[in-house]
Structure 1
Amino acid sequence: MIDINFGNLFSIELLHSYYKDKLCSDFSISASTDTLKVIDGHKMTVRQHGNQLMAGIYCNGNVSPLTPFASIEEGTRFTFFMKLNNSLFFNFTNLPSTAPGKIYYFTNRNNNVANSKSFLSSKIDIYKNTNTYIPGDLAATTPGVIYRAIGSSDPAHKFALTDTNHWMKVDSNQYSSEKDALQWLPSLSTYQFAAPQSSAVVSVLGYNIATATYTLPVLSNTMTFTAPASSFKLDLSILQPGKYSLTINGKQQWIYINDELNGIGAFAVIDIFNEATPASCMLLDGTGHLINPSPKYSINFLNRATIWKYIIASKKSGTINDKANVYKFANPASIITSLTPIPLSNGPLDFKLTLNNHDYTPIACADPQRLVSISKGADTYACSEIFLNF
């Protein structure tokens, strides 16, 4: 008689700094058709519970370390689609709204380990004073501390991360960013040139396991047109679903190929690989046993920071102060704005309004229901208006 036990293969948690408990339950996660076959063939079960996706597998025996009943082969991939269920998500998240065809791509191939967590997003780039930053951009220090730009900087106007007028310290976690954004393309599509071309030189690079980079040639083709063309049929049907680097006539872009995305409105794709390297891709130990504790992957979203504009109904001049002495306001006025952006949160901040020599606390905080724009100097910010009935 075979003794059957159940073990954890991996899990994925969704986090968001907007929420007081950091737990993000704004998405439904489903497996791709190919992944459902892998799950069934390996006697696995995959379930979403709130902000987490749990992947378990049946094992032989009940003695640790556990051995999967059906071994997970090297190179096995689990693909999941994230569908966004919260219409206000982009209002309180430090990401731009998705453009047509754009998706976010998260994978353990990023090998992004920080603050004792394994993040599926790309690593935030180290700050360089030769780069241009606008409000909302993220940069990292060498020790891995993340900063958010709250003012513009460029090579001609350099501001170090210690400049609190231009940068706000976040923490030592990693966050999703536009580095994770890809253009989804169907396997057959029409490619539009910026100007008519006499030919199309197409090059596609895939993931090179040996170097953990996208440098493996997987497609190369040159098409010559009888007359300059403004578009052509791009055939990528020989490619397996996945992320690629596509270059056409010298113009490079990151793409994701998977016809299953057609019409499902996915916000993001998650790819979990079982590979020997990097370490973040190891789902089993070197002897085929489950890892204890099992790999736990994180996708972390940063809350949006906005200028807070308090509008006093009586139009009388008042002052607003932060009892924690973190955020400052342009006092006194009947319309009071914060001097710097303030991160949105569903947890309250302790602000005090002083009006007609009376103190009112607590007062309402910004919510993500409605955002407007406001200009401060050369920068344009998202602005949260809060009406106070005083």
Structure 2
Amino acid sequence: MIDVNFVGLFTVELLHKFFADQLCPDFIITPSDATTSSMNGHKMVVKQYQNKLYAGIQSTNGKPFMPVENGMQMTFFLTLKNPLFFNYTNLSSTFNTSQIYYFTNRNTNAINGKNFLSLPVSAYNSAVTYAPGDIAADGTGVTYRAIRSSSSGSPQALTASGYWAQVDDNGYVNSMDLLQFMQPVSTYAFTTAQTSANISVLGYNSATGLYTQPAITKTINFPGPTPSFPLDLSTLNPGKYSLTVNGTQQWIYVNSNLTGNTPFAVVDIFNAITPASCNLVDGTNTLLSPLYSIYFLNRATLWKYVLPVGKTGTISDTTGIFNFTSLANDITSATPIPLSNALLNFQLTINGTPFTPIPCADPTRFTYLTQAGDTYDCSEIYINY
């Protein structure tokens, strides 16, 4: 008797450091139309449950009933359902809807026992200007968050505690994951009028793991200086590409099946021999059932506790991590504090009376505060004790 059942092909989990349990509930995950058709042909099923997407495939003795071919691509869209997401997430809050985050298991980003679908956080570079909230990694994969500005004129290494705060060794979503979304035919605008367009589009090269595979190479001559022209990318399969026009390069995402509102992110899962992160089955076609992770870092803000008029107080952190400065009836953190829906170990003392626990910052409301030349997001917490 043949035992046929469904076994996990892969799982994608969404994590967020804002939540006490780290589980991110902020997205709806749906497959593309092409992926739905491919799933039916491979006797696959996908189901989102809370923060995870489960993909299963009909199997016999741990092997897929229908072979999972090398190069198979499955595409999923992340649709954001929480309007407060950017308030407590360490990403730019001025999100450009013509851009899209792109996650894939082609990214080799395995650290801390997890396979991350985001690109690795860029290593610290003393020639780069960093602003509060920017992140950089050391040589061991540990991520740090900038708490003060630094630049090539006054570089501050990750060991400078007044400028950087250590986060941990997870692979967080970062600006490198953000691509320009391009329609199959779109208007390309030059910064200055041009008489021709030298176009180069490079796709993924499976032999090298780099985007060096020529996909489009052509030159368009115009009758005179032209400010823009129609760029035709309709021959490209859905995916990530490097686009260069007259020497200007940018990373793009193309998908002719995406119409209407652009989703927050695309997740591409491939089955391939290389890199190892794309191995959904081994050399004997046995299912490996990998778990992939997408991890969002929480935003950090200055916390300003506002006491009733006429009252003074102090705040202490029993863990010794954060310090506060008292001024009149305001008590403000000396450095940004990561937002969290878990209570922190702060003790408030008003006129000699201690209070604990005390409210944490609410991500629904921000102001701004300038400190040592930097402008920070500031969370005001009003105390009525």
Following superposition of structure 1 onto structure 2, how do residues 122-137 of structure 1 map, counting pairs within 5 Å? 122-137=119-134
Alpha-carbon distance in 2 for matches of 1:266, 1:59? 32
Q: CA deviation at 1:262?
A: 2.1
Task: Look up the match of 1:283.
Answer: 280
Counterpart contact for 1:120–1:297, Cα < 8 Å: yes
Alpha-carbon distance in 1 for matches of 2:310, 2:364? 23
Counterpart contact for 2:102–2:267, Cα < 8 Å: yes
Task: Look up the match of 2:110.
Answer: 113
Q: Which amino acid aligns with 1:375?
A: T
Alpha-carbon distance in 1 for matches of 2:166, 2:310? 35
Deviation sequence 1:148-200 (CA, Å, 0-9, x none) = 11111111112121211110100111100011000101001111111211111
Counterpart contact for 1:18–1:303, Cα < 8 Å: yes
Deviation sequence 1:227-282 (CA, Å, 0-9, x none) = 21111001001111100001111111100001222213300000000010010001
Task: Look up the match of 2:361.
Answer: 366
Q: Secondary structure at the match of 1:23?
A: coil
Deviation sequence 1:276-325 (CA, Å, 0-9, x none) = 0010001000111112xx20000000000001111112243321111222
Counterpart contact for 1:318–1:332, Cα < 8 Å: no
Following superposition of structure 1 onto structure 2, how do residues 181-330 of structure 1 map, counting pairs within 5 Å? 181-291=178-288, 294-330=289-325
Counterpart contact for 1:319–1:333, Cα < 8 Å: no
Q: TM-score, normalised by structure 1?
A: 0.96
Q: Which amino acid aligns with 2:309?
A: S
Q: Are 2:187 and 1:168 equivalent residues in the alignment?
A: no
Counterpart contact for 2:100–2:262, Cα < 8 Å: no
Counterpart contact for 1:319–1:332, Cα < 8 Å: no
Q: Are 2:88 and 1:92 equivalent residues in the alignment?
A: yes
Structure 1 runs not aligned, ≥5 long? none
Q: Secondary structure at the match of 2:39?
A: helix
Alpha-carbon distance in 2 for matches of 1:229, 1:26? 44
Deviation sequence 1:109-162 (CA, Å, 0-9, x none) = 001100010000000122122222111111111111111111111111121212
Alpha-carbon distance in 1 for matches of 2:143, 2:168? 6
Alpha-carbon distance in 2 for matches of 1:354, 1:260? 59
Q: Are 2:16 and 1:20 equivalent residues in the alignment?
A: no
Q: Are 2:360 and 1:357 equivalent residues in the alignment?
A: no
Counterpart contact for 1:130–1:154, Cα < 8 Å: yes
Which of 70, 76, 85 pairs up with 1:74? 70
Counterpart contact for 2:59–2:65, Cα < 8 Å: yes
Structure 2 runs not aligned, ≥5 long? none
Counterpart contact for 2:97–2:262, Cα < 8 Å: no
Q: Which amino acid aligns with 1:93?
A: T
Alpha-carbon distance in 1 for matches of 2:341, 2:308? 24
Alpha-carbon distance in 2 for matches of 1:308, 1:323? 16
Task: Look up the match of 1:32.
Answer: 32
Q: CA deviation at 1:49?
A: 0.5
Q: Which amino acid aligns with 2:85?
A: F
Task: Please list every run of at least 4 consecutive aligned residues from structure 1 whose deviation after the TM superposition is greater than 3 angstroms.
Answer: none
Counterpart contact for 2:147–2:162, Cα < 8 Å: yes
Deviates more, 1:368-377 or 1:99-108: 368-377
Deviation sequence 1:28-76 (CA, Å, 0-9, x none) = 000001100110000011000000000001012xx4xx11110000000
Which of 70, 74, 83 pairs up with 2:79? 83
Alpha-carbon distance in 1 for matches of 2:108, 2:38? 23
Q: CA deviation at 1:332?
A: 4.7
Q: Report how many residues are paired.
A: 384
Q: Secondary structure at the match of 1:109?
A: coil
Alpha-carbon distance in 1 for matches of 2:204, 2:373? 41
Alpha-carbon distance in 2 for matches of 1:194, 1:142? 38
Counterpart contact for 2:71–2:272, Cα < 8 Å: yes
Deviates more, 1:323-332 or 1:94-103: 323-332
Alpha-carbon distance in 2 for matches of 1:229, 1:309? 53
Counterpart contact for 1:214–1:245, Cα < 8 Å: yes
Alpha-carbon distance in 1 for matches of 2:310, 2:182? 53
